[in-house]
Amino acid sequence: MKGLNYRLNTGIRRRWSERKTYAGSNTVVGIANSGQAYLSSTEFKNNVVENILTFNKEFGKHNVFLTGVYSYEENEQYFEELTAINFPNDEFTYFGISQASSIESQNDYQRTALISQMLRLNYSFNNTYLLTLTGRRDGFSGFGPDNKWGVFPSVALGWNISREPFLENSTTINQLKLRLSWGINGNQAVDPYSSITRLRDRNTLSGEQSLVGYVPSVIGDKDLGWESSETYNLGLDFGLFNNRVFGDLNLYETNTSDLLLNRTISSVHGINQVTQNIGETQTRGLELSLSVVPWVTQDFNWKISGNFATNKNKIVSLYGYLQEDGSEINDLANAWFVGEPIRVNFDQKMIGVWQLGEEEEAAVYDRVPGDAKIEDVDNNGVLDDKDRQIIGQRDPKYTWGLSNAFQYKNFGLEVFFIGSHGATRHNNLLRDNTAAEIRRNVLKKNWWTPDNPTNEYFRNNDQVKGGSIYEDASFVRLKDITVSYNFPKKVLSKIKLEKLQLFASGRNLLTITDWTAGDPELELPSSQAGILPLQREITFGLTLEF
């Protein structure tokens, strides 16, 4: 039958990785353990089978395109490792493992499977009116027995306005397309076996005899299932003034329900975390990308392209437990608050430093001048858990990128900035534990002293009562800049080269930010150790083409 097409895609991927190391007596680890060998092997298996059936038919101005997909994807991972210590000598490195007096081994296995069934209809009339209907059904192994399958429909409408007769010959509007869509998406981002209640090793000993032991370690939620997001999207693609201005704009609202989250639960369960489908969130956002060519002449060319994204997300509902006034109970243990963004900081807020002359007031909180002044939210003269408050959201409110490219004769200049605004984060590197740990690098601080009555940082003393410091992690960064020179064709033809370009480029050369703990583009880990900032790179280069 004409227009009918069947395709079978299959893929088998295997990846092996092996590690064999030996730490001898010339290493710290080796000395401490009289030699340590570590052997590990990992095998990844990935199998994919996709059956794709398509049918395409045109009836006059009508075009119909049907797609049916049935696919299966399986991922398996095998892991084995062996650590041996106490070697009689370093002679045989890890080949001497049989002589090591202590050998410990571990292994692990994981498997996930995903089955997808999909039917899609694309219909267009005169390439002007477009309709897409999709229905899909996915099954994922990681969910509970009765919730493995999810059904996800979507509808999309498009109107190519620029193909309408009244715009067909317009030089002002070259392209204009309106898009409208509604759909539900599924998310299965959980570890396998999350729905299974299980145990972990907890071994012990009796005299010389090792005894294998197990204790419960995971509370599996049998009802674990798909997280689903319902999205409305309104989009506009446009090209104006001979495509000197072009871009697209999207407005969307996503309502996500049954979010797959690791939730902190009461330790009274004996386990303090569980993976569950929780609550409902709403995200509204706008995304714009725009390119403009403001200047084009024979010798000079300037192109600006940029993108901008902003969204507002909030928790709509959590577990449905209501307070007496009918509003929902917030989850303080996880710092989830109805009506607030999903990721917020929740802590006592430092609002300054107690100064000389404020002794009496400070004494109420058992503090002295030089200690951190913490906001007493309920104004009861005691600093406790009731004085914690939301201190900003952890994700940026908006982000953008802006690139300017200039070309003058054979010289080129490209400048690319990025920006991120509105995130507040805890500054780990401003916290130090002078009493216990002086071995780690932390930031230089503007310590309070009687002569330096700052409100920025408390006194330098191991009896100090401090506070956590949160900072605005907004930044603007010169991400890339490139200067280039292309040798003229005239010269090149003589030496029989197609292209010869000299360039110099720099990355991360400039960052403007109030954030003091390292690189604002990276999120700090919770540990104090800090992480490496993105490096500043300068590259000089030569491009040759024959």
Partner 1 sequence: MKKLITCLVSSILLISSCSDDLLNENPPNVIYAENLYSDLSGLEAGINGLYSLMRYEREGLNASSSLITDVTMSGTDMFAANHSGNGVSRVSVDWTARNRPDYDVYEGVFLWLYEIVNSSNEIIKNVEEREDIDWSGNELSETENRNLILAEARVARAFAYRHLSYLWGDVPLNLNPSSDGIIRTDWERTPVNEVRQQVVKDLLFAEPIIPEEGSLTGRITKGAVQHYLAELYLTLNKPDSTLFWANKVVNNPAYALITERYGVQVDQAGIAFMDMFKAGNTNREEGNSEALWVFQFKNNVLGGGEYPIMAMHHTSRYRSGDLDLTVTADRGGYGNGRSSLTKWALDNFDDPNDDRFSEYAIRKSFTYRDAAGNAPYPADNLPEGKNYGDKIYLDWSEDITDDHNGIEEWPFSRKYDWADPVDPIGNRESFYDQIYLRAADTYLLKAEAEFKLGDVGAAANTINILRARSHASNITVSDIDIDFILDERARELMAEEPRRYTLLRTGKWAERTMKYNNHGSSTIDPKRDILLPIPQSVIDSNLEKEMPQNPGF
Interaction residues for partner 1, span 111-130 (CB under 8 A): 111, 113, 115, 117
CA distance 281 to 278: 10
Binders of partner 1 among residues 381 to 420 (CB under 8 A) are 384-385
**Of 3, 88, 270, 294, the one binding partner 1 by CB under 8 A:** 270
196 touches partner 1 by CB under 8 A: yes
51 contacts partner 1 (rule: CB under 8 A): yes
| CB-CB neighbours of 91 under 10 Å | 11
- CB-side exposure of 177: number of CA atoms within 13 Å? 16
Q: How far is the CB of 156 from partner 1 (least distance, A)?
A: 25
Question: According to CB under 8 A, which one of 19, 202, 489, 536 is a site residue for partner 1?
Answer: 202
Q: Please state the closest distance from residue 428 (CB atom) to partner 1, in A.
A: 15
Beta-ladder partners of 81: 40, 106
Q: To 10 degrees, the CA torsion angle through 202, 206, 212, 215? A: -30
Q: What is the largest CA-CA distance in the chain?
A: 92
CB 384, min distance to partner 1, A:
7
Query: Interface with partner 1 includes 220 (CB under 8 A)?
Result: yes
330-339 burial: b if 16+ Cβ within 10 Å, else e: bbeebbbbbe
Q: What is the helix, strand, coil percentage profile of the chain, to 5? A: 10, 60, 35
Query: In this complex, which beta carbon is closest to partner 1, that of residue 266 or of residue 298?
Result: 266
**Site for partner 1 contains 139 (CB under 8 A):** yes
Residues 276-295 that bind partner 1 (CB under 8 A): 276
Q: Which of 5, 86, 89, 380 binds partner 1 (CB under 8 A)?
A: 86
Among 221, 376, 471, 519, interactor with partner 1 by CB under 8 A: 221
Rounded to 5°, angle at Cα 439 from 436 and 444 = 95
Out of 109, 125, 182, 411, the residue judged to bind partner 1 by CB under 8 A: 109
Q: Are 526 and 428 in contact (CB under 8 A)?
A: yes
Q: Which helix (H) or strand (E) holds 475?
A: strand 475-486
Give me the least distance between CB of 50 and partner 1, in Å please. Answer: 10
Show the binding pattern over residues 462-501: x = contacts partner 1 (CB under 8 A), - = does not. xx-x------------------------------------
Minimum CB separation of residue 499 from partner 1 in Å reads: 50
* Contacting partner 1 within 149-188 (CB under 8 A): none
Contacts of 493 (CB under 8 A, 6+ apart): none
Within positions 3 to 32, which residues make up the interface with partner 1, using CB under 8 A?
31-32
Give the one residue of 33, 275, 345, 511 binding partner 1; rule: CB under 8 A.
33
| Residue 353 to residue 217: CA distance in whole angstroms | 44
Separation of CA 402 from chain center: 21
- Alpha-carbon distance 78 to 111, whole Å? 9
3, 11, 88, 213: residue in contact with partner 1 (rule CB under 8 A): 213
**Binding residues among 444-463 for partner 1 as defined by CB under 8 A:** 462-463
Q: Does residue 72 belong to the site contacting partner 1 (CB under 8 A)? A: yes
The secondary element (H helix, E strand) that includes residue 32 is helix 28-33
231, β-bridge pairs:
183, 254
- Identify the three-state secondary structure at position 429: helix
Among 38, 92, 159, 193, binds partner 1 (CB under 8 A): 193
Instruction: Indicate which single residue of 189, 211, 495, 544 sits in contact with partner 1 (rule: CB under 8 A).
Output: 211
Query: Is 141 an interacting residue with respect to partner 1 (CB under 8 A)?
Result: yes
362 contacts 466 by C-beta, under 8 angstroms: no
Task: Scan residues 307-366 and list those touching partner 1 (CB under 8 A).
Answer: 319, 321, 329, 331-334, 366
In the complex with partner 1, which residue's Cβ is closer, 166 or 321?
A: 321
Nearest Cα to Cα of residue 379 among 371, 389, 369: 389
Judged by CB under 8 A, the stretch of 152-160, 213-221, 309-317, 408-416 that binds partner 1 is: 213-221
- Toward partner 1, which CB reaches closer, 331 or 519? 331
User: Rule CB under 8 A: is residue 102 a binding residue for partner 1?
Assistant: yes
Task: Return the number of the residue (164 or 191) whose C-beta is nearest partner 1.
Answer: 191
Measured CA to CA, the distance from residue 419 to residue 505 in angstroms comes to 20
* Residues touching partner 1, count (CB under 8 A): 83
Q: Using CB under 8 A as the criterion, what x/- string covers residues 230-269 for binding partner 1?
A: ---------------------------------xxxxxxx
Distance CA 258, CA 530 (A): 34
DSSP string across 273-326:
EEEEEEEEEEEEEEEEEEEEEEEE-SSEEEEEEEEEEEEEEEEEESS--B-TTS
Shortest distance, position 335 Cβ to partner 1, whole Å: 9
User: Which residues are within 8 A (CB) of 18 and not within 5 positions of it... i.e. 6 or more apart?
Assistant: 39, 40, 41, 42
